[in-house]
Structure 1
Amino acid sequence: MKGTPAVPAGGSHEKAAAGGDAPHAIPDELLDDLTPEQLAAQWEDEKPPAAGALANAAASLVVLGVGIGAAGLSIAMGLGAPDKPQPGLWPFIISIVMVALGLFQLVAGRHNRDAEKFTRMSTAPLTGLVTLAAMVSLMPLIGFELPSLVLCIIWMRFLGGETWRSTLVVSAAVVISFYAIFVLALHTSIPHLF
């Protein structure tokens, strides 16, 4: 079959595919024996189908909409001034960057051939966005500690597939670090419980 990488001696391609997730997946121990051309052919076989111009435009409009919505939420949180920033300043700056990138992608990225077609895995960024919006809306009410901890756990365990042990350790370390930097060291006005 043209485009299918050769399998090193010791097994057929069908045997190699039996242990993998994709139809032509090769086990990790055999990947070391493949040439760069064979690896490129393997990656090409496993690549999701390309998205069309409509999907590229839809993705750009989603980024644009999220950026505009996030800018509005940031303004509602308060921007402050550069010497006395309020909680919405940095999210506002990031939102403006998102709007600019969404507009650029909408205009210049219509003919992008590298974009992937939407699949079941495309819901992961949406889950990340919804949980991030929930964290931002809960911060003024209950502080950043608990929403940030829950956000880290969801992102690491359910979106990233990490183990419970590493998820809990890293999530706690992130929240403690943020607390130490923004509350104890910088004395920012970020909403916090403790």
Structure 2
Amino acid sequence: SKVLELEKKVEEPELCGNIEELQGFLSDAVKGWDKIFEIIERDGQFRIKRKEKAINAQLEKMGTMILLSNKRLEGKEVLRLYKRKDVVEKFFDNMKHDIERKRLRIHTQETFEGRLFLDFLALIIYSKISSEIRKEGINKDFTVQEIMYEFKKIKLIRLGMKKMIVTEVSKKQRELFQSFKIPLPTRP
């Protein structure tokens, strides 16, 4: 197992003699290593010791999931699609709760349908951004939520009956538009 491999690796002289080297190795090898191991010193050598209770607690949380499909897909693709479905379900759940919170402001069926339509468009945009990030490898520094938040800051303001202006586009927003190959918003 990976735990046994790690325990064997940290016994190598270059690691067990230097605590900084050992911590660096563990950080690179295992995310959250400090939750399942502790570093102990014995006879001037550094070793790792398992945190049995923490490991058992993590093992109790593990489980098995079976996904069946009528299509022939690789395991990674099935998992990606499942996660994407989960994102959509969470989006609709949040949207439903948002509508329930704002229920008092919705006086007609037409207003409700309009809000639902706008939320559906937002979901399409969210899905497209997520797809582009994955496909093109762009904007790995931002989550989809952070990108949506940046785009939400851009507003179209109506001044009087005829004049409309777009709020100023920040440098970060400009970079996002460029990376998605979307022209900058201008006044209509």
Is the helix fraction higher in 1 or 2? 1
TM-score by length of 1: 0.31
TM-score by length of 2: 0.32
Higher relative contact order (CA 8 A, sep 6+): 1
